[in-house]
Amino acid sequence: MGVDSSTKIVIGVVGGVVLGVVTCAIVGVSYFVGIRQENPPLPAPAVEQSSAVGALAVGDCVKQAGADAAPADCAEQGAYRIVKIGASVIDCPDAGQPHVFLGGKVLCLAPAAP
């Protein structure tokens, strides 16, 4: 009672298909996990800038003024210090802190008061 050659061929083909499906599943899951890690969800707190504020730099402070951010004294209550200027929220040191979109850049903010 040996196994004939046609049965061996069927077993080989089925085994190859199963191996291919498992490999594709592993590659697919790895790809989507990698995408998710590279593009984490954006945090909620943000001020969408609708008017020009002037030249702002790291170390300057801003305060929310309606739908805009306006330059502010860093000692004012509710003022935020610009800690970094980047191209995306992902560039911010703490993406959970507020940020402002301004002229194609993102101003990464932190509370000005200690």
Q: What is the pLDDT of residues 37-78, one digit of tens each?
A: 555 554 445 554 444 445 788 999 998 887 778 888 999 988
Q: What is the DSSP letter of 77?
A: T
Strands 99-102 and 46-48: parallel
Q: Clarify whether residues 33 and 53 are in a common domain.
A: no
Q: Clarify whether residues 28 and 55 are in a common domain.
A: no
pLDDT at position 6 is 63
- Structural domain boundaries enclosing 51: 46-111
Q: Clarify whether residues 87 and 51 are in a common domain.
A: yes
Q: Clarify whether residues 57 and 34 are in a common domain.
A: no
Number of domains in the chain: 2
Q: Which residues contact 42 (CB under 8 A, 6 or more apart)?
A: 89, 95
Q: Clarify whether residues 28 and 70 are in a common domain.
A: no
Mean pLDDT confidence for 78-105: 88
Q: What is the pLDDT of residues 5-46, one digit of tens each?
A: 666 565 666 666 666 676 766 666 566 555 555 555 544 455
Say whether pLDDT at 83 is over 90.
yes
Q: Clarify whether residues 100 and 52 are in a common domain.
A: yes
pLDDT at position 80 is 92
Q: Clarify whether residues 55 and 105 are in a common domain.
A: yes
pLDDT band at 111 (very low <50, low <70, confident <90, very high): very high
User: Which is nearest to 113 in space by CA: 63, 62, 79?
Assistant: 79
Mean pLDDT confidence for 75-100: 89
Q: Clarify whether residues 76 and 21 are in a common domain.
A: no
Q: Clarify whether residues 32 and 73 are in a common domain.
A: no
